[in-house]
Structure 1
Amino acid sequence: MRLYRLITEPDSAKFCHRVTEALNKGWELQGSPTMTYDATKGVTMCGQAVVKHVDGETYTPETKLGAW
């Protein structure tokens, strides 16, 4: 099974820590990071897609992606 997550967070060290944590749990970067300005909140938002291969599992909509 292949899992996909999009990690989003305001542009801060917390975003980098979330991506780093995912990488250390076996997730791999998928594509380039993205940034956009949220004028409503007045913050720059970051996003990074990550993927992970998991053997012996079957995906369902109830799969808790953050648990992997």
Structure 2
Amino acid sequence: MDKRASLIKAFKEEIKRARPASYPVCIDSFTNLWQYEFGSFEQLPPDIERLVAYRAAELGLMDDDG
């Protein structure tokens, strides 16, 4: 399994185990690691891309409509 697939799998498992209140921390941690490892958010699966975009909108980093 390549590094991207491994990180995505670990993130999905973490989200499944996490309480909803801790989702923002999980997403922030994932995006920090992804950015460090790969330099951009390209090649994210659509479901994870939506979570990251929603979190960015929550933080005021982008518009809610995408």
Question: TM-score normalised by the shorter chain: which range applies?
Answer: 0.3 to 0.5
Which structure has more helix as a fraction of its residues? 2
Rg comparison, structure with higher value? 1
Which structure's residues are more often strand, by fraction? 1
TM-score by length of 2: 0.34
TM-score (norm 1): 0.34
